[in-house]
Chains A and B, each alone.
Chain A
Amino acid sequence: MKILVAVKRVIDYNVKVRVKADRSDVDLANVKMALNPFCEIAVEEAVRLKEQGVASEIVVVSIGQKSCEEQLRTALALGADRAIRVDVENAPDALSIARLLAKVAEQEQPGLILLGKQSIDSDNNQTGQMLAALLNRPQATFASEVKLDGDSLVVTREVDGGLQTLKLNLPAVVTTDLRLNEPRYASLPNIMKAKKKPLEVKSSADLGVEVTAKVKLMSVEPPAERSAGIKVGSVAELVDKLRNEAKVIA
């Protein structure tokens, strides 16, 4: 079975982003970029399925400018076999991303498609669901366990009330949650080997998808700043403040 993994280049999770002075967007100049943590987990899961003999080939795909080839190389170093970058100029909207991924999936015919549940920049949490819809395939979002059972996939999902387990016919779309696995580090020899693995570039025109931008960013503002309050010296003082100053406990 072939696995397709969609990966995204995002700001490193340790970086606290700032809003530009003119409030047009956030400032990404000279900011450290990385593979979206949820995508890293998706790649790791694919690699484990290959190690178990369930998967035969892992293809990673990213939609973006040339810079995202860095993250595709990271995914190759973690164990993916080949990479596809879909070149786009301006930031496409979510539906265009899903349509481009759907075209790649139609060409590649994977048995399983893995995505992160959420990109940590846009915090959207929607691409996997949209891709599954466009392909008319079942989806299991927020996965914390993925098991193959004959021709079907058994996935445990992290839902608000606890855990839910679903059975899906393949091909299927799965989005990863944080506890699905702990991604490995790429070893130096694997980083070297990754440089020689195939990386193909396609354009949206090659895929026959018209890229749109129907969600316009009008402005960006910093969140309401919380000022640090006071330090209390004891539990008694804390309880007194909560009762008589903040009046939040009886």
Chain B
Amino acid sequence: MAERAHSGPLAFPLQENPLRERRVIFRRYGRNALIAVLLSMMFYHIFVVETDWVRMGGIREIISTAAEFWPNPAFIPIIIDPLLETLLIAFWGTVLATMFAMPVAYFSARNTSPFYPVVYLFGRSIIVLSRSTHEFIFALIFVSALGLGPLPGILALGFRSIGFLAKTTSEVIENVDRDPIEAMEATGANPISVFMFGILPQIYPIVVGNVIFQLDINLRRAAILGMVGAGGIGYVFSEQMQAYEWNNAGTVVLGIAVMVIMGEAISNRIRVRLISGVGGDSKGIE
């Protein structure tokens, strides 16, 4: 409309322009029709062409197959150790990630990064690399480099989590109150002391909250890392699946669910305490 205003007088008012009317009709109905056609094509492809309805059988058969995954209580003692291993992989992976994420965060926060933008871009690339690579990719790399076991799992989770922790932490660093930092600089403190006294006290509740959140996510990730040989409960699951031991596989699924729910309950409680400052003299996150 705006460009027409300069092209001389119009033969008729805009509202009555028949061309425009036709375009509006297409926009209203044509586009919806196009979406409907595309959706039905997708539906047809997935549910008619690609699904083997004959093999699936009737509803009764589906239910009875699913029921074969009913957990086997006798398998519970066998999954305890791998579950604990999973917990440890998640824990140490998160610890490792936190250790590396803090300097990366310092380098990729605009207000603290030395020699801006050289080191800043380096830090940001680490974040992007870590966040855009699936933990299975890291796990496969470390399994081939170090062999089977929990260590490649820990490294995989560590590398996978650096990105999230460094990104969130660098954003918190960028938003700190500058006044105390100015005061620290005025005392003649060097940059590391300024960070420890001026910045860290301001950011730690949020950072600790994010680390616990990451630990919670890593517990889920650690539960499947074993499928590619990186230790933990995932290996037991794929082993039982390959042996057609559906009940045992069901037990594993139940075990993972219990562990994840417990982990989430505990981490939520800690994070709420951190944020609301219950039990401490903290006033919480501004």
Q: Do A and B come from one complex?
A: no
